[in-house]
Amino acid sequence: EADRQRAANEANEAAADEAVRVDRETREAAQEADRQRAATAPTATAEGRTNLTDFLGFSPFEHEIFAKSEFATTLGVSALHKWTEWAQQWQCVPDDAHTYPESPFNQHCAKLEEELPAWMARDPYVEALVSKRKAHLVDGLQLATALRGKRVFFNGDSIIEQLLRAWMCDLKRLTGREAVDMTPEDQLESKTFDAFVRSNGGADPTFIGSLQLDAAIKRAKAGQEGGGAGDAGSGSGPMSVFRMGDRIVSGWVQTGGALQMLPFLDVLVLHFGLHYHDEVTMRREYESIMPQLDAFAAQPGKAVMLLEVGEQHFASSTGRYEDVNPLIKGCNCAPHNADDSTAASGQLDRNKIIYEYLERYPNVKLIPFRQLTAPRHAMHMKSRCGNNVCDCTHWCHSTPLWRAVLGGMMDTLKGIEGFQWQ
């Protein structure tokens, strides 16, 4: 009996070993097939994939050729084949960048690229809006082309950070090189634009990134000292981008940074909304800054854009975090009809307040976001990406989603004097 038992155990172990071997060989064969496909895929040319500043010197003809060759040179045959399978296999990719404000951009973008759908997945929600002509897509290079020679400033909560990082990673994908660098606070040097802005009243930037910042700083300092601002904002030269992380307007205004930095900027992209919890406070703070923003945006070649507050999808009548039903256990990001329920319940409608101020101050423009995010209850960090907190606010990475937001930015810029078009 003991011999029979040993024989049975040995047979089971042998079968298990064989299953492991077959699984390993299958995976290795699949990996080798992917390598072979990648080896035969079209490759980028040196002149077409150097860095963003090189691209910004392209002629209109070169730009057209570059755009047409985008998928052939960046995705390759293997990814193009998988593109056709999106309807059955689509899944978005974790974008937890807002939880790592000090992490280098190259690490963040590499993390997204490790997940194949990050750069190839088509987004059914966005495609539905595009087909109805309610949205259109603009890639990161197209927007950067319009912003040549501009100093672009982002401020707001973690949603604006997701937008900026998505743009920068799109640039990395399209150029093959880092578009910006991220520098931890303790490594900042006086030559960086970050330190320059803070020394003139700026408030606690979470990171600084740009293309050829030194040149931009020299121009800005020359302007500050009465020597002129050089060719900044002329539609040629490098684009400078940086961000501050104020969640509400008062965090920016109370330091004095808001007004002191305006003379050195060209484009402001702002998002203040999710961290307001009562109407009186939100109106008071918007009143404190909107007249100045409107006057700034009235100048030729200047722009101020407010990102519309996107939808949250917590388990409540409005989807808002504040209205979560305490009787619902666990974390569920659920659909809702926010427009109707918010109006009926008398709850704070942040976008309604923003719309009112935009009507009063028409030089400040809106970047559409609410309609893009309303149906995406299953695409939050917790719902699809996985997370250790209940997050029905931030979004899994979707290139089409953020390209639709960039499209909204482009629409605004097209109506402003002083921006270049190819």
The one-digit pLDDT tens for each residue of the chain (422 residues) are 899 888 888 888 888 888 778 877 877 776 676 566 445 433 333 333 333 223 333 334 333 433 443 332 333 333 323 322 322 233 333 443 333 333 334 444 445 444 434 434 567 778 788 888 888 899 887 887 778 778 788 888 888 878 887 887 776 666 554 444 443 333 333 334 444 444 433 333 333 333 333 344 444 455 543 222 333 334 555 566 777 778 899 888 876 667 777 887 889 999 999 999 899 999 999 999 999 999 999 998 899 999 999 998 888 778 888 777 776 777 778 887 655 444 445 678 999 999 999 999 999 999 999 989 888 877 776 665 555 667 888 887 778 888 999 999 998 888 777 665 54
Give Cα 192 distance to the centre of its chain: 23
**Sign of the C-alpha dihedral computed for residues 170, 310, 296 and 154 taken in this order:** negative
Quote the CA–CA distance of 223 and 263 in Å, as a whole number: 9
Architecture of domain 97-414: 3-Layer(aba) Sandwich (3.40)
**Sign of the C-alpha dihedral computed for residues 292, 297, 302 and 307 taken in this order:** positive
> What residue ranges do the domains of the chain occupy?
97-414
User: How much is the pTM?
Assistant: 0.65
With vertex at residue 145, the alpha carbon angle to CA 139 and CA 150, rounded to the nearest 5 degrees, is 120
Secondary structure letter of residue 310 according to DSSP: P
Quote the CA–CA distance of 290 and 355 in Å, as a whole number: 12
Give me the sheet containing 267-271, strands edge to edge. Answer: 207-210, 240-244, 151-156, 267-271, 303-307, 364-367
Tell me how crowded residue 100 is: count the other CB atoms within 10 A of its CB: 12
* Contact indicator for 243, 129 with CB cutoff of 8 Å: no
Quote the CA–CA distance of 31 and 116 in Å, as a whole number: 13
Map residue 174 onto helix, strand or coil. Answer: helix
